[in-house]
Structure 1
Amino acid sequence: MANQVEQGLTEDLFPLLQKERYVTIATVDYEKKTPNVNAISWVFALNMKTIRFAIDNRSRIIENIKANNGVVLTMIANGSTYSIAGDTKIIAEKMEGVPLKLALIEMAVNEVRDVMFYGAKLINEPIYDKTYDAEAAAKLDRQVMDAMKKV
């Protein structure tokens, strides 16, 4: 996909966003007007042009999106790094069926770019471990993912 701009997720990327995954989100800070980057994991692609994600509803990301709805998700996959740009809207300030105060955001994908620098391939994708009770983490993850699919 190098040097190509796609108008939506590709057949290779779509299945990777069917479960929780480490991505970063870049927004424009509503006060400073500078880039703001955060790591998130509750992401889910509804289709090739729509991605949903859940974040703490007290996060600065919410105010940033209210002021400027353009965001970029960065995903490391298939030996490369992808920039997924789009416009967002807040679907719910408090997700139903989830014990935490999470907001549900929906992103209309405008473009997908392979942004890996020339002549390189990533050999490992980011792997993370939950640092709290594994059973509680698995239950919460199921609740959040199910809620993202329903709304």
Structure 2
Amino acid sequence: MPNLVESTLVESLFSSLQAEKLVNISTVDFETGGPNVSAVSWIYASDESTIQLAVTAKSRIVQNIENNEHVVVTLYANESVYSIHTTAVVKEKETDGLPLKLALVTLKIIEVRDVMFYGAKICVEPRFEKTYDKEAAKKLDQQVMKLLKDIS
């Protein structure tokens, strides 16, 4: 059975990216030219062809995108793994009004590919827990997700 390929997010994947979600972001490293993979959670699909992302302003992700716009988002959803190929633009290098400086990135979807190997499914999606002050984390998460929704 061939893996499914779409040009936009199908409804279930779009819904999956309406709240904070653990994903991997793959960029091309600006120094080595090799792959750079980071785990992030501040991600939001503003529509079926656009994803908003927030990362710390000093993140290597920002430098990598400024050097090479190609970004892949790895998403675990619907009992499968999806590789979302995008082109990225750093919309804002450093936000104001938040406890930490963030860069805002817009990802335009080129292709969404189901990359789960044949005959298997994801039984439990990856989950995470914030390990610092729970109330501070909740407040910051709400502020960042609002910011991502507002730039859409």
TM-score using structure 1 length = 0.97
Partner of 2:12, secondary structure, is coil
Structure 1: where are the runs of 5+ without partners?
none
Q: Percent identity?
A: 50
With over 3 angstroms needed to count, the CA separation of the structure-2 counterparts of 1:2 and 1:45, relative to structure 1, is farther
Q: CA deviation at 1:87?
A: 0.2
2:42 is aligned to 42
2:81 is aligned to 81
Q: CA RMSD in A?
A: 1.2
The answer to whether structure 1 residue 71 and structure 2 residue 53 are counterparts is no
1:93 is aligned to 93
State the one-letter code of the partner of 1:148. L
Q: CA deviation at 1:99?
A: 2.0
After superposition, give the CA deviation of every residue in 1:24-60 in whole Å (9 maximum; x if it has no partner): 0000001100010000000000000000010011011
Aligned partners of 1:150, 1:22: CA distance in 2, in Å?
A: 21
1:139 is aligned to 139
1:122 is aligned to 122
With over 3 angstroms needed to count, the CA separation of the structure-2 counterparts of 1:2 and 1:55, relative to structure 1, is farther
Q: CA deviation at 1:2?
A: 5.5
Partner of 1:12, secondary structure, is helix
> Runs of 4 or more off by more than 3 Å in structure 1?
none
Aligned partners of 1:92, 1:2: CA distance in 2, in Å?
A: 39
1:53 is aligned to 53
Aligned partners of 1:143, 1:54: CA distance in 2, in Å?
A: 11
TM-score using structure 2 length = 0.96
Partner of 2:62, secondary structure, is helix
Aligned partners of 1:96, 1:147: CA distance in 2, in Å?
A: 11
